[in-house]
Structure 1
């Protein structure tokens, strides 16, 4: 850990920045991706267990709970962990940064307490809004108190490039919580939903509280001006991430209100398949963001542009590969009762590509302290998405919600791109690259639906990709060997 931290300091002082930062990007990307895939692998392995142990209604209700939890975590946490990427440039490392972190956690606790007070004053109103029993909501608030400390700890590990411990902690947490959830769902016959929620979230409550105490011991000093700084960056990010969360989850909440729990379950299973790509995207972005900020600091636009181009096309390729085996994934995860999920899978899967692209704009805006762009645009698009979901579901059925989300995400990307013209976005994401990525991605929807009806042709595509991939590996074996050796030597 000490060596990686020393390397990061060298980047900041400009010494060997190109060579060292590339090594760090490769290493952090590798460990974050491996960690997230290993941790999420447990979630995917247990999806068939949960879909068979729980009714479709219970499975759908858990997704609704998770959606509300994600929304309130963004509000109560004020996205303070996301401000750390920028705060590290404005606060010295060590005591000042630790005081900033503690001050932010106290702010999050205060906001959560206010939200809990409002809920306790009007419990019946919120129970009708959430369509969930009160005991589940109280568990959610316990999670809201503790999780910001966990997020902040992981964020601090990332900016210090201490990737191994961060990866190990994530892996241990997801393994433990998932196994506990499976056990409780199996044994709590009368309330399997309670078992799933307790097992999935309570372990994070305990670990979050431990990390909260850890930060208090590092520094219990409130830093004057830190709340103002955190809120100035965090509130716009709240609207941005809240809008993004609405884009990803509004469909199931709307369908829960208008449609049936079964339809919610079909959407949820499709979203679970989408997580294969989203996990990869989020893992890369966690490693990418600190590296990008360092590169922007030294105005290395050409290097960022070349790296991001490879990054985006790789995500597009991986998305298409996953789509090709979509019917098989749905069959394994959900069984025959979830076959309807196939028809909303392609539109759902594009979320990974759109998220990767829009995250680039948000990172750029955050670096230049223009987070209000993301807040304004995402809020507008989120409202459009909810209204579009209601109209689409009423007229065309639950499937329309996925296509409304695709349209809204495209609008959001366009708005971001126009707004970041003054922030040298063309130096990082040329318009021709963005147009090509979006055009090919949207074409995946009709192409996939056609291939799903022609199994022989679809299998032919899979075999062709496999043959081409093996051929490239053979032809480029020397380059790949050198890359692996370089990576091993950098460790």
Structure 2
């Protein structure tokens, strides 16, 4: 067993995954600590409005940035010697987009008093924070593909700490009369300050601004991904907007709180995916398809193990971190966590589509799933409340996974992943989640069930340690 552990720890993929996960958990840990603060210093309605604003930032960071950060991975291989020039030129293109949105948005306010309950000031702050978010994600994409996990984590840490501290300060002082606006101003100023530093760094390093060759290359990859990215936001965020609309901001606040608890599993997925992508791209470029298939099996098993642990623990975290007013949403922890699990699953084939630059297929699948999600939410949220939003999202992420799994196989003309193992895991996690749903209030039974599953997984690893070692290092 020691030999297996040492072998895994020597892997570049595992080391990167480890640091991304540890670092992101530390960063998200700061956000987690502040959840009770924000929940307790705001009303449910204010908390719902804050998360509604955050949803719009997620949407417009894609629109304003034209999803250009998606081109960085491929450009790092195709323009390896001129990547700095590429980065500065494409960022300048995004800057033109920013001013276009500011101009058009303020023209819109000549004819209307609000934009989805955002007044003109909040709208402009939202556009600025969206662009700042894009700039930060733009350079983080460069850090990720080059295995610069410490730079990635440092930037994430600074962004999180400055954002949280400045927002809380404003909410308790200058904007104590309107904590919603205080949170909006605090987040915008914090992210914009950091984005300006990053922006100047990229521009001075590249010193290249208008280049149609780079622009065409980036837009060819990114433009099909705009509907894909927007559809992803709809899948993960638009349910909050619909809950606000159908059930009111108080219900939106409860749903947002549970979603923020469920994001633990998303952190693990994003962290491991940040390490997986550069490794996967490297193995694909070297045509090491058998290695990908073998390693992906253990990646799948490891993530599944973490997922079931987080599902069980998150239920009790949600109970501990908020007043009883939020307990009505506890049952949402299971579907929200399961939704993130299917996000992880669909990212496996999607990464193959990204590598092959077949982004059109990515957009088609995600847009279709988002449309289904909106339709199901419109049908079931008014009837069954916020719990419906959790399960409609699970269903649509499952459809998304199935679609991309078969599309990736067609595009690459090969079976990169083990179908039998993947579907076995899907069935197991689905059954485990169904049992958890009925055991929300039975703490002892939940943890006994978890320990039994972990014990069986441990026996499997011990029994097959030599084979696992040989496959992982082959």
TM-score (norm 2): 0.90
Taking the aligned partners of 2:139 and 2:274, their CA distance within structure 1 comes to: 13
Instruction: Identify the residue that residue 485 of structure 1 maps to in structure 2.
Output: none
Equivalent position of 1:324 in the other structure: 312
Distance 1:220 1:149 in 2: 17
Cα distance in structure 2, aligned partners of 1:126 and 1:444:
49
CA contact (8 A) 1:105 1:148 kept: no
Q: Distance in 2 between matches of 1:336 and 1:464?
A: 31
For 1:204 and 1:254, how far apart are their aligned partners in 2?
27
Counterparts of 1:92 and 1:78, CA distance in 2: 22
Distance (Å, rounded) in 1 between the aligned partners of 2:273 and 2:412 = 20
Q: Report the secondary structure of 1:429's partner residue.
A: coil
Distance 1:471-1:48 versus aligned 2 partners, 3 A rule? farther
Is 1:205 the counterpart of 2:205? The answer is: no
Partner of 2:472: none
Partner residue of 1:309?
A: 297
Match of 2:162 among 150, 170, 176: 176
RMSD over aligned Cα atoms: 2.7
The alpha-carbon deviation at position 277 of structure 1 amounts to 0.3
Distance 1:144 1:249, change over 3 A: closer
Q: Residues 92-491 of structure 1 correspond to what in structure 2 (within 5 A)?
A: 92-93=80-81, 96-123=82-109, 128-187=114-173, 188-221=175-208, 222-424=210-412, 427-462=415-450, 464=452
Are the structure 2 counterparts of residues 347 and 132 from structure 1 closer, same or farther at C-alpha, using a change threshold of 3 Å?
same
Deviation at 1:134, TM superposition (A): 2.8
Are the equivalent residues in 1 in contact too, given 2:122–2:184 (CA < 8 A)? yes
How many Å apart are 1:184 and its aligned residue? 2.1
Q: Give the alignment partner of residue 63 of structure 2, picking from 75, 79, 101.
A: 75
Give the drift of 1:223. Answer: 2.5
After superposition, the Cα gap between the structure-2 partners of 1:77 and 1:44, relative to the gap in structure 1 and judged at 3 Å, is same
Determine helix, strand or coil for the equivalent of 1:384.
helix
Once residues 281 and 448 of structure 2 are traced to their aligned partners in structure 1, the CA distance between those partners, rounded to angstroms, is 43
Cα offset for 1:472? 9.2
CA distance in 2, matches of 1:472, 1:295: 27
Counterpart-to-counterpart distance in 2, 1:155 and 1:164: 13
Partners of 1:84 and 1:128 lie apart in 2 by 35
Distance 1:460 1:22, change over 3 A: closer
2:88–2:203 Cα contact (<8 Å) kept = yes
Q: CA deviation at 1:97?
A: 1.4
- Distance in 2, matches of 1:422 and 1:311, equals 23
Cα offset, 1:256, TM superposition: 0.9
TM-score normalised to the size of structure 1?
0.87
Contact map agreement 1:81 1:148 (CA 8 A) in 2: yes
Q: 2: distance between equivalents of 1:49 and 1:427?
A: 48
Structure 1 counterpart of 2:53, from 43, 62, 65:
65
Could you say if the C-alpha distance between residues 370 and 257 of structure 1 is closer, same or farther in structure 2, counting changes exceeding 3 Å?
same
Q: 1:289 to 1:296 in 2, by over 3 A?
A: same
Alpha-carbon distance in structure 1 between the residues aligned to 2:34 and 2:390:
25
CA contact (8 A) 1:48 1:332 kept: no
Distance 1:430 1:26, change over 3 A: closer
How many Å apart are 1:272 and its aligned residue? Answer: 0.8
Shift in Å, 1:425: 7.1
User: How far apart in 2 are the matches of 1:275 and 1:186?
Assistant: 26
Query: Taking structure 1 as reference, are residues 464 and 200 closer, same or farther at Cα in structure 2, changes over 3 Å only?
Result: farther
Shift of 1:29: 1.6
Render the CA deviation track for 1:85-117: whole Å, top value 9, x for unaligned.
111222132xx2112111211111112222222
Shift of 1:171: 1.5
Is the 8 Å Cα contact of residues 39 and 170 (structure 1) preserved in structure 2? yes
Please identify, of 315-324 and 49-58, the stretch whose mean Cα deviation from structure 2 is larger: 315-324
User: Structure 1 CA distance, aligned partners of 2:46 and 2:283?
Assistant: 47
Which residues of structure 2 form unaligned runs of 5+? 1-6, 470-474
Q: Which runs of 5+ in 1 are unaligned?
A: 1-18, 483-491
Secondary structure at the aligned position of 1:130 is classed as: coil
Distance 1:351 1:290 in 2: 25
In structure 1, what is the Cα distance between the partners aligned to 2:430 and 2:446?
A: 18
Distance across 1 between alignment mates of 2:69 and 2:217: 13
Change (3 A) 1:384 1:49: same
Which residue does the alignment assign to 1:10?
none
Instruction: Supply the distance in 1 between the matched residues of 2:60 and 2:112 (Cα, whole angstroms).
Output: 13
Deviation at 1:268, TM superposition (A): 0.8
